[in-house]
């Protein structure tokens, strides 16, 4: 199960990195003639029963009031591999785009937004995790190595942050900032807030390991051979805590993905023009949107998959 979970996480990251090639269209491109269009399924068998190269039937609008579409089974548009820098797209888009997961209420490709949203959500979570690990490892290492007043001060600060309801702290900190910010500023701000909220979990784990390891013979031998405090801490003691650091990283990553989704869902994260799993779920909060296309819940399924794989990986590791 550990291998399966690791493979699943790796595939999700690879898909996010390859989003520009995997997505048939730009996530911000709108198709006004295909508002809330349903998914367009590929076919390999024609209506006559003959086998064909993968193709799709173009969509035709049956009722504009109901936004109801039907496949035009009288026409077949072949799919082209490695065309225009894309892995798979229609060979001819004169009858409209290929929408594998349909379109949202603005006429944007749902699959493209899901793939590019993975880059944004995983990017924020990854940077936040890295920040929390760096701050937490340094703080926990110093507390465990020096002990005494330094240990007491660092751990009291960490405990103060830990007793606060994390999600409310994040919401309060973000709400205190300007609501309208450039996308890069929102990205950096969210990563910084998440890192400041998450570091105490890492610090507590690292502190316990360093406090134990500093009394062992190899640490005493390094000191007797003339190694300074910085060398002993960073070369000998902190590497001993890499196991707990890796575990904390796996735990923090899905937590920060959920935090980004929460902020964007309540309108304090990325705007609707920036595809992220949270901003897409904000649209899915509309019951009519879910009724028009159940695929609007695809970001929730992606978040669930990442969280499940991370928890499985932690359980197998521990």
In this prediction, residue 316 has a pLDDT band, given cuts at 50, 70 and 90, of: low
Our CA dihedral for 269, 12, 34, 267, rounded to 10 degrees, sits at -10
CA–CA dist 313, 222 (Å, integer): 35
Mean pLDDT of 270-296: 74
Which of the two residues, 223 and 144, has the higher pLDDT score? 144
Map tokens 């929408």 to a residue.
99
Measured CA distances, 198 to 62, 252, 297 (Å): 51, 7, 28
Flag whether the pTM goes above 0.95: no
CATH classification for the domain delimited by 110-317, as one of 1.10.3720.10, 3.50.80.10, 3.30.559.30, 2.60.40.10 = 1.10.3720.10
Instruction: State how far the Cα of 189 lies from the Cα of 201, in Å rounded to an integer.
Output: 20
Measured between alpha carbons, how far is 198 from 140 in angstroms, rounded to an integer?
13
Taking only the tens place, the pLDDT of each residue in 285-312 is 665 655 556 677 888 889 999 988 888 8
pLDDT digits (tens, 9 = 90+) for 223-264: 888 888 888 889 888 998 988 998 899 889 999 998 888 888
Dist. CA 29–CA 275, nearest whole Å: 12
Contact 130, 191 (CB under 8 A): no
Domain edges within the chain? 40-98, 110-317
């Amino acid at each position: 199960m550990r291998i399966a979970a690791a493979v699943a996480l790796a595939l999700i990251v690879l898909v996010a990195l390859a989003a520009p090639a995997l997505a048939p269209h730009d996530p911000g491109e709108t198709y006004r003639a295909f508002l809330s269009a349903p998914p367009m399924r590929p076919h390999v068998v024609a209506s006559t029963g003959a086998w064909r190269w993968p193709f799709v039937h173009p969509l035709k609008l049956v009722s504009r009031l109901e936004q109801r579409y039907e496949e035009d089974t009288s026409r077949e548009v072949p799919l082209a591999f490695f065309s225009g820098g894309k892995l798979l797209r229609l060979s001819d888009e004169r009858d409209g785009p290929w929408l594998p997961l349909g379109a949202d209420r603005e006429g944007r490709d749902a699959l493209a937004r899901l793939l590019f949203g993975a880059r944004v959500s995983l990017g924020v979570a990854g940077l936040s995790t890295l920040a929390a690990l760096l701050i937490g490892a340094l703080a926990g290492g110093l507390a465990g190595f020096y002990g005494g007043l330094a240990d007491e001060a660092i751990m009291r600060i960490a405990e103060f942050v830990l007793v606060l309801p994390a999600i409310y702290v994040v919401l309060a900190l973000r709400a205190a900032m300007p609501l309208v910010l450039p996308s890069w500023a929102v990205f950096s701000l969210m990563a910084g807030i998440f890192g400041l909220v998450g570091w105490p979990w890492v610090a507590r784990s690292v502190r316990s390991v360093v406090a134990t390891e500093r009394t062992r013979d190899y640490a005493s031998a390094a000191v007797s051979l003339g190694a300074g405090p910085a060398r002993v801490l960073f070369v000998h003691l902190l590497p001993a805590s890499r196991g707990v650091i890796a575990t904390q990283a796996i735990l923090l990553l899905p937590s920060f993905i959920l935090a980004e989704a929460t902020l964007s869902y309540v309108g304090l994260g990325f705007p609707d023009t920036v595809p992220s799993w949270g901003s897409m779920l904000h649209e899915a909060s509309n019951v009519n949107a879910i009724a028009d296309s159940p695929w609007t819940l695809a970001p929730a399924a992606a978040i669930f998959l990442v969280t499940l794989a991370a928890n499985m990986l932690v359980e197998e590791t521990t």
